[in-house]
Chains A and B, each alone.
Chain A
Amino acid sequence: MREPILKVSGVSKAFGGVQALRDVSFEVYPGEVFGIIGPNGSGKTTLVNCITGFVRMDAGRVLFKGKEITGWPPHRIANEGLARTFQIMRPYYSLPAYKNLIVPLYSPRARKMGGWRGGGKMGDRDTVAVDILEEIGFERDSFVPYKPASALPTGYLKRLELARCMALRPELIICDEVFSGLSMSEIASMIPLIEKFQMGGVTLVMIEHRLKELFRVADRVMVLNFGEKIMEGTPEEVIQDERVKEAYLGTEETRDA
């Protein structure tokens, strides 16, 4: 049995009178793609915020690589190797795309992890930033990385958000709805990127609404509903499960025949 890279146990969080999360626990193993799905309002983003330190949980523990990160501030968690994307992205619109990566490259972790391929000893963050953008799929040797972020379409912005995470050389990335807002072809071009992450040894936790695309890449999936975990399993198992169907579609009132 492999050691889980991320172990979340008993996370609960209430906002005022609303119980956003109730006793959620799961484990993620190194190298896999773990999906988290659930209807709107099931607490997916709150879960991410709790794990990554943006929101203080009422109860629960989070262990990352065996280390207890419960209650750590977000930047410390990021420096430990756990990165996250934001559902609503706000890049620095007036700056060129590659300059958007300067901030994460300034972090202690990026500095410690040393030179990116060809980037040297972190002395020139600009070069490293452009390298990262090329890795992430911006066209090689074009002027796309130099365009201001306001000129980029959504697909590129999503990649920029992932690049922001990649600059930290993370071991686990939590992707908050990266597929949302993308067209079918844009998603199709994102999938090789995800597989590339996997091959690079990065574990992915993906929160998604678009189930078809998610099920193509995910190894295991967890389903949340009203803040509770109702099921966990492979995509095939999840599709067939009654509780999942009920959560998404509701039940028919059965009447006596």
Chain B
Amino acid sequence: MEQMLRKERIDRGIRVRTEGIYAISHWQELTYLILPRLLLIGGFFLAPICLLPFPYWQRIVSIICVYGLLAISFDFLANFVGLVCLGGAFFVGVGGYVAALLNTQLGLPSVLSIPAATIGGAAICTLLFLPCLPLRGIYFAIVTLMYPLIFSRIIEAFNLFGGTDGIAGVVSFPNVWLEQYVIISLTLFGLFGLRRLVNEDIGLVLRGIKDNDQAVKASGIDITRYKALAVFIASLLGCFAGAYLAHLYMWAGISLFALDFSIMPIAATVIGGGGSLAGALVGSLIIVPISELLRAFGTLRIAIYALILTAFIVFRSEGIMVYAQRKYHQFERWVKV
């Protein structure tokens, strides 16, 4: 008799059992759930050690995390709260300048200046975005787009905070390992923390604002306050990235408001897959090394990202991560009937 073959999903039975309490009933289900996450966390934590002989690439890992933070904050705001932030560079600039000022003017060590810059910078950013929060989403997009451009020009024109030279002499980190692992752990913390947050009650409120803000208002929730909260959370991530960069490069200047920091996170999110937060991190994992390789092209880099971004938006691609997630649930193998 002939053997008939048919396709069967590898995770047949397992996936269903991973919903709910059955997830911990058998090692198969546990592995199914934990493996991707373990890969991500393990990969990031092992990277600095593996790359020890290549300090250039060690730094790239840090930069990946920086852009990853920015991308996660963009994804969070755009796909979970409905606020499209086109100027992530603003967070970076504010965070960086505040950290540099705290360090050079007040002499705070990096261990104090970074947290202070993160929280203080986030407060400043939220305050500055406050006027456009009650309005339609497009106003937020416009304002976020313009703020980094405007502020960098103001700093340059008035020669504030060191003008085009910037603030030099910011101290670096006590040791290299700290430099690496602080940003890695905080990036992962931000990622998993936000993923947890959006499923909590308050996350539902924020997502409700995106889906149906009229109903949320009619349910007695002050939308502006929660939008401000979302912006505050996102700017925490962005300002931390900026403060970290200030200490990494031991310098803070107008380039912190550069378009790179606005466009790359958006490109990373769109390519990596919006709406999943992890996709944003994966996207920056892809884009940052490519950007380094393209460094020879100077500002043409930005043009290239912009075009890729346009292509993704126009053709409404779902992004790599979302595609991968779908496929992960769909691995098949041939099985005898």
| Chain A residues close to B by CB (< 8 Å) | 52, 54, 73-76, 78-79, 83-84, 86, 90, 92, 95, 99, 102-110, 125, 164, 167-168
Determine which residue in B215, B217, B218 has the highest number of CB atoms from chain A within 10 A of its CB, and name it.
Answer: B218
Name the 4 nearest CB pairs between A and B, nearest first. A107-B220, A104-B219, A78-B220, A74-B217
B219 in contact with A95 (CB, 8 Å): no
A54 to B221, CA, bound (A): 14
B211-257 at interface with A (beta carbon < 8 Å): 211-212, 214-223
Is B201 located at the chain interface by the 8 A CB criterion?
A: yes
Distance in Å: Cβ of B50 to nearest Cβ of chain A: 40
Please give, as numbers and ranges, the residues of chain B lying within 8 Å of A84 by CB-CB distance.
218
B212 in contact with A110 (CB, 8 Å): no
Contact of A75 among B201, B202, B204, B220 (CB under 8 A): B220
Distance in Å: Cβ of B198 to nearest Cβ of chain A: 12
**Could you show 24 A-B contacts with beta carbons less than 8 Å apart?**
A74-B214, A75-B217, A75-B218, A75-B220, A83-B218, A84-B218, A86-B218, A90-B211, A90-B215, A92-B211, A95-B204, A99-B204, A103-B216, A103-B219, A104-B219, A104-B221, A106-B219, A106-B221, A107-B220, A108-B220, A109-B220, A164-B215, A164-B218, A167-B219
Distance in Å: Cβ of B190 to nearest Cβ of chain A: 23
Known contacts A79-B220, A103-B205; 15 additional CB pairs below 8 A are A75-B217, A75-B220, A78-B219, A86-B218, A92-B207, A92-B211, A102-B205, A103-B204, A103-B216, A103-B221, A104-B221, A107-B219, A107-B221, A110-B220, A164-B219
A125 to B219, CA, bound (A): 15
A99 to B200, CA, bound (A): 10
Distance in Å: Cβ of A241 to nearest Cβ of chain B: 33
Q: In the complex, what residue of chain A is closest to B209 when comparing beta carbons?
A: A103
A83 to B217, CA, bound (A): 10
Please give, as numbers and ranges, the residues of chain B lying within 8 Å of A109 by CB-CB distance.
220
Is B137 located at the chain interface by the 8 A CB criterion?
A: no
Distance in Å: Cβ of A69 to nearest Cβ of chain B: 13
Distance in Å: Cβ of A122 to nearest Cβ of chain B: 10
Q: In the complex, what residue of chain A is closest to B203 when comparing beta carbons?
A: A102
Q: Residues 274-311 of chain B: 1 if any A CB is under 8 Å from the residue's CB, otherwise 0? A: 00000000000000000000000000000000000000
- Given A102-B204, A102-B205, A103-B205, do A54 and B219 touch, yes or no (CB 8 Å)? no
Is B208 located at the chain interface by the 8 A CB criterion?
A: yes
Please give, as numbers and ranges, the residues of chain B lying within 8 Å of A107 by CB-CB distance.
219-221
Distance in Å: Cβ of B106 to nearest Cβ of chain A: 39
Distance in Å: Cβ of A113 to nearest Cβ of chain B: 11
Please give, as numbers and ranges, the residues of chain A lying within 8 Å of B218 by CB-CB distance.
52, 54, 74-75, 78, 83-84, 86, 164
A104 in contact with B204 (CB, 8 Å): no
B217 in contact with A104 (CB, 8 Å): no
Q: In the complex, what residue of chain B is closest to A111 when comparing beta carbons?
A: B220
A165 to B257, CA, bound (A): 45
Please give, as numbers and ranges, the residues of chain A lying within 8 Å of B216 by CB-CB distance.
103
B220 in contact with A86 (CB, 8 Å): no
Contact of A106 among B202, B207, B211, B217 (CB under 8 A): B202
A83 to B223, CA, bound (A): 16
A106 to B215, CA, bound (A): 13
Please give, as numbers and ranges, the residues of chain B lying within 8 Å of A54 by CB-CB distance.
214, 217-218
Please give, as numbers and ranges, the residues of chain B lying within 8 Å of A52 by CB-CB distance.
218
Q: In the complex, what residue of chain B is closest to A90 when comparing beta carbons?
A: B212
- Given A78-B219, A83-B218, do A106 and B201 touch, yes or no (CB 8 Å)? yes
Contact of B205 among A76, A78, A106, A164 (CB under 8 A): A106
Please give, as numbers and ranges, the residues of chain A lying within 8 Å of B219 by CB-CB distance.
75, 78, 103-104, 106-107, 164, 167-168
Please give, as numbers and ranges, the residues of chain A lying within 8 Å of B207 by CB-CB distance.
92
A106 to B212, CA, bound (A): 16
Please give, as numbers and ranges, the residues of chain B lying within 8 Å of A168 by CB-CB distance.
219-220
Distance in Å: Cβ of B276 to nearest Cβ of chain A: 14
Contact of A102 among B201, B211, B223 (CB under 8 A): B201
